[in-house]
């Protein structure tokens, strides 16, 4: 069957069978958590706690007055051991709150309305902000900002993103099967806040059980949402691609989904919204797929934010002897790690461990102009040219060829037969360009 999709893109093998039948298991509470004060796009949150202070699970430990920011909560009950710099999964060190667990798991819950259906919209959105909810698909954009589009934009449709197009990852897949009702409640709340009637759920067709489960609950509760299977193709879950696949609308260059009347949220985000609004639980845990051929027992794990990667890896049976690479996120856009003390953050969808066999080493050939990258780029760019222009520092030409539109999905580098680090060069180019622009502005 031909399901709707976007143009171009790639078909990497997905290895999802390692974990897609495995129910989510809760990780035993860790002894120590390291909670970064910035886990979102926007202003960093300011720490509110000091060394030695006692904190409860769900207590706010950092926040910001800025609107575009995220609230940070303690994810265990314990004592603050330190507020300082620790290793972050994105590479550098970052300001984190180190909490050592003491005994019980006492929750401090949000002050929620009795019935969200009758609660004022302002209050619901304020609660979402208070709960520290950000996009759990990977970008970690604060959700409360997304749900309050400026008055001049009319939003008519909401798309729930269950594409999960990155190979290996099954966290979203599992929650769609196991927490179907909660996710749809979250979707109802989000659509109520947005005031939109048309709800769509986009899922790649490699998750038939999730499609079935969602369809059934949508029918039972008579929600009227459209569950839309999409072709399994990377990067189906990229916001702009998803909107094109589901609604056939193209977000204009430099624009946002709301410019074409759409808001998109990940299924994990919808689940977090439901838990916050109906149970008062702030976002302090998420499901992480711990997988790869380098781990003994691949698993889907629900872990508290701030839990070191090492805890999850031990829980999944530990690394195999031949394991040589660990990264956070999917293999297409994930970040390689060199130390397993880094914590799970709100944007961590997976921890993937690779054995020597899966690590591909190449020597680059010169570009042979084959055009494979051009045929793969979902944004319709010319990656080979962008990479060359970035290398030669032709920044004006780089701008003219639309480098800023690159979503860094990595499809170009994936298909390149010369194994040129195309997307890596494009990142360099984007950086050089923004550097030049900020210099000109100064």
Partner 1 sequence: MSADKQNASRKAGTDPKRKSRGKEKAAKKRGAKGKLFTPDRLFILAPSPHKYTNESVPRIMWSVVGAVIPAAAMAVVYFGWRAFWMMVACVIAALVSEALINLLKGERWTVLDGSAAITGLLLALTLPPAFSIVGGALGAVFAILIGKQVFGGLGYNIFNPALLGRAFLQASFPVAMTTWTLPHTARYAAVDAVTAATPLGQFKFEKVMTDLGPLLTGNVGGSLGETSAIAILIGGMYLLIRRYADWRIPTSFLGTVFLLGGIFWLVNPQSYPNPLFQLLSGGLLFGAFFMATDMVTSPVTTRGAWIFGIGAGVILIVIRLYGGLPEGVMYSILLMNAFTPLINRYTRPAVFGEVRA
Q: Which of residues 385-404 bind partner 1 (CB under 8 A)?
A: 385, 391, 400-402
Show the binding pattern over residues 244-283: x = contacts partner 1 (CB under 8 A), - = does not: x-----xxxx-x----------------------------
Whole-angstrom distance, CA of residue 164 vs CA of residue 266:
9
Determine which residue in the list 202, 327, 349, 433 makes contact with partner 1, applying CB under 8 A. Answer: 327
Output the smallest distance, CB 196 to partner 1, in A. Answer: 21
For residue 7, report the phi and psi dihedrals to the nearest 5 degrees: -90, 150
Closer residue to partner 1, CB minimum distance, 125 or 157? 157
Using CB under 8 A as the binding rule, whether residue 423 contacts partner 1 is answered as yes
Closer residue to partner 1, CB minimum distance, 155 or 251? 251
Distances (CA, A) of 293 to 55, 332, 336, 392: 38, 16, 16, 39
Whole-angstrom distance, CA of residue 310 vs CA of residue 318:
8
Distances (CA, A) of 428 to 235, 273, 375, 407, 434: 21, 36, 22, 14, 10
Output the smallest distance, CB 24 to partner 1, in A. Answer: 23
> 269: which 2 tokens?
């985000």
Task: Give the CA dihedral 312, 317, 322, 324, nearest 10 degrees.
Answer: 0
Longest distance between any two alpha carbons in the chain, whole Å: 64
Using CB under 8 A as the binding rule, whether residue 48 contacts partner 1 is answered as no
Output the smallest distance, CB 166 to partner 1, in A. Answer: 10
* Closest to 116 in 3D by CA, of 215, 191, 34: 191
Q: Identify any residues that bridge with 84 across adjacent strands, giving them in sequence order.
A: 96
Closer residue to partner 1, CB minimum distance, 218 or 412? 412
Whole-angstrom distance, CA of residue 330 vs CA of residue 235:
11
Show the binding pattern over residues 139-158: x = contacts partner 1 (CB under 8 A), - = does not: --------------------
Segment near partner 1 (CB under 8 A); pick from 110-118, 141-149, 150-158, 382-390? 382-390
Output the smallest distance, CB 406 to partner 1, in A. Answer: 9
Using CB under 8 A as the binding rule, whether residue 92 contacts partner 1 is answered as no
Output the smallest distance, CB 387 to partner 1, in A. Answer: 9
Determine which residue in the list 362, 434, 435, 437 makes contact with partner 1, applying CB under 8 A. Answer: 362
Using CB under 8 A as the binding rule, whether residue 65 contacts partner 1 is answered as no
Using CB under 8 A as the binding rule, whether residue 319 contacts partner 1 is answered as yes
DSSP 440: H
Q: For the purposes of burial, counting CB atoms within 10 Å of the CB of 196, is it exposed (0-12), middle (13-18) or buried (19 or more)?
A: middle
Output the smallest distance, CB 327 to partner 1, in A. Answer: 6
Q: Identify any residues that bridge with 55 across adjacent strands, giving them in sequence order.
A: 78
The answer to whether the beta carbons of residues 182 and 214 sit under 8 Å apart is no
Using CB under 8 A as the binding rule, whether residue 55 contacts partner 1 is answered as no
* Closest to 211 in 3D by CA, of 257, 262, 164, 247: 164
Using CB under 8 A as the binding rule, whether residue 117 contacts partner 1 is answered as no
The count of residues interacting with partner 1 (CB under 8 A) is 77
Using CB under 8 A as the binding rule, whether residue 374 contacts partner 1 is answered as yes
Output the smallest distance, CB 200 to partner 1, in A. Answer: 19
The answer to whether the beta carbons of residues 363 and 416 sit under 8 Å apart is no
């Amino acid at each position: 069957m031909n399901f709707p999709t976007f143009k171009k893109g790639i078909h990497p093998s997905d290895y999802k069978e390692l974990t897609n039948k495995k129910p989510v298991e809760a990780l035993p509470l860790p002894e120590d958590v390291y909670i970064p004060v910035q886990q979102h796009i926007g202003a960093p949150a300011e720490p509110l706690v000091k060394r030695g202070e006692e904190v409860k699970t769900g207590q706010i430990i950092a926040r910001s007055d800025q609107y575009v920011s995220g609230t940070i909560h303690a994810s265990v009950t314990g004592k603050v051991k330190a507020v300082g710099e620790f290793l972050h999964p994105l590479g550098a060190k970052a300001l984190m709150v180190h909490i050592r667990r003491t005994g019980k798991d006492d929750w401090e819950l949000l002050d929620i309305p009795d019935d969200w259906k009758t609660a004022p919209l302002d209050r619901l959105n304020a609660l979402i902000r208070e709960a520290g909810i950000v996009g759990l698909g990977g970008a970690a954009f604060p959700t409360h900002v997304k749900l309050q589009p400026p008055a001049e934009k009319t939003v008519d449709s909401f798309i729930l993103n269950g594409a999960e197009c990155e190979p290996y990852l099954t966290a979203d897949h599992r929650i769609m099967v196991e927490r179907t009702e909660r996710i749809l409640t979250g979707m109802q709340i989000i659509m109520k806040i947005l005031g939109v009637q048309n709800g769509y759920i986009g899922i790649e067709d490699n998750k038939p059980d999730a499609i079935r489960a969602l369809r059934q609950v949508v029918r039972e509760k008579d929600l009227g949402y459209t569950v839309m299977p999409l072709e399994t193709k990377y990067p189906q879950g990229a916001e702009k691609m998803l909107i094109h696949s589901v609604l056939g609308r193209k977000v204009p260059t430099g624009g946002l989904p709301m410019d074409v009347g759409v808001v998109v949220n990940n299924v994990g985000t919808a689940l977090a919204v439901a838990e916050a609004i109906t149970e008062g639980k702030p976002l302090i845990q998420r499901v992480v797929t711990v997988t790869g051929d380098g781990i003994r027992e691949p698993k889907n794990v629900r872990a508290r934010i701030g839990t070191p990667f090492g805890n999850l890896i031990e829980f999944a049976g530990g690394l195999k002897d031949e394991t040589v690479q660990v990264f956070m996120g999917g293999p297409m856009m994930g970040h390689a790690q060199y130390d397993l003390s880094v914590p799970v953050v709100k944007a961590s969808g997976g921890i993937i461990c690779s054995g020597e066999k899966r690590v591909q080493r190449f020597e680059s050939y010169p570009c042979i102009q084959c055009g494979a990258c051009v045929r793969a780029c979902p944004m319709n760019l010319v990656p080979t040219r962008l990479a060359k222009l970035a290398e030669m520092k032709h920044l004006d030409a780089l701008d003219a060829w639309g480098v800023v539109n690159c979503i860094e999905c990595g499809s170009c580098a994936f298909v390149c037969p010369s194994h040129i680090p195309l997307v890596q060069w494009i990142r360099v180019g984007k950086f050089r360009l923004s550097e030049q622009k900020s210099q000109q502005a100064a």
